[in-house]
Amino acid sequence: MTDDDPVALDAYETMADAYSERVGEKPFNAFLERPATRALLPEPDGQRVLDAGCGPGVTTRELREAGADVVGLDVSPKMLGHARARAGDRVVRADLGSPLPFSDDSFDGVHSSLALHYVSDWPALFGELARVLVPGGWLVCSVQHPYADFERVGEDYFAAERIEETWDGFGGPVDVPFFRRPLDDLLNGLLGAGFRFEAFDETEPTEQFREASPETYERVSREPTFLAVRGRLDG
């Protein structure tokens, strides 16, 4: 673990209760990122799936209800409390910035929603995700879009930068730090860990987004906010 990991633990401990209560209906989560990321998921029935950075367990529960043998993982104790309430006791406290507490070939797939950009060492993380997957296993993940982050808060697109933003949508204001990187850090990092790409989605808003937040719909219809990726491990 580096000094920067887990970089956003305090922020998510502060937000946990409000986040759990509101994330199911917040437009950027419920009607933008999650639909795009979930559309990339392979059929989960009968699959052993790690929900990496599971937060309050929204997708953990949906994967379980779809027939997956799912384990939720998060570093925030308060988030894990909400995940247990939603999805049962198969949740583990661990830091994605450290070696994962699973043996090799433990999972058929990994789902990770808006969690990877809180980890400073992506090559090590992608290597760990590859290690715990079976050959041919899949990874579906979403991150904040590198271009959007640069336009909003970045200083040097090609640098890996530690950024801090203030969120006020989950009981805030709360200062939330994360790492901003160029797109090639994600693509080359996954390729270097042995993944090949199957699909990308730059997350256009749904009609439900328009109904819930018409004042921001036009903007997010014209510029990227998140990036969702499906990769498969060679083998």
Q: Give the per-residue pLDDT at 152.
A: 86
Question: Could you tell me what percentage of the chain is helix, strand and coil, using 3-state DSSP and rounding each to the nearest 5?
Answer: 40, 25, 35
Q: Give the per-residue pLDDT at 172.
A: 76
Q: Give the per-residue pLDDT at 2.
A: 40
Spatial contact of 119 and 111, defined as CB atoms under 8 Å apart: no
Q: How many CA atoms are closer than 13 Å to the CA of 58, on its beta-carbon side?
A: 19
d(CA 38, CA 127) in angstroms, rounded, equals 23
Taking the domains of the chain in order of start, what are their residue ranges?
9-233
d(CA 184, CA 198) in angstroms, rounded, equals 16
Tell me the pLDDT tens digit for each residue of 61-101. 999 999 999 999 999 999 999 999 999 999 999 999 999 99
Superfamily per CATH, domain 9-233: Vaccinia Virus protein VP39 (3.40.50.150)
Q: Is the pLDDT assigned to residue 1 strictly greater than 70? A: no
> Which of 91-100, 111-120, 160-169 is least confident?
160-169
Q: Give the per-residue pLDDT at 171.
A: 80
Tell me the pLDDT tens digit for each residue of 176-234. 999 999 999 999 999 999 999 999 999 999 999 999 999 999 999 999 999 999 999 98
Task: State the pairing for strand pair 133-144/107-113.
Answer: parallel
- Give residue 103's Cα distance to chain centre: 22
pLDDT grade, residue 5 (50/70/90)?
low
d(CA 180, CA 117) in angstroms, rounded, equals 7
Q: In what order do the strands lie in the sheet with 91-93?
A: 91-93, 69-74, 48-52, 107-113, 133-144, 226-233, 195-201
Tell me the pLDDT tens digit for each residue of 24-59. 889 999 999 999 999 999 999 999 999 999 999 999
The residues that bridge with 123 in the sheet, in sequence order, are none
The residue assigned the tokens 């419920």 is 30
Q: Is the pLDDT assigned to residue 175 strictly greater than 70? A: yes
Tell me the pLDDT tens digit for each residue of 121-130. 999 999 999 9
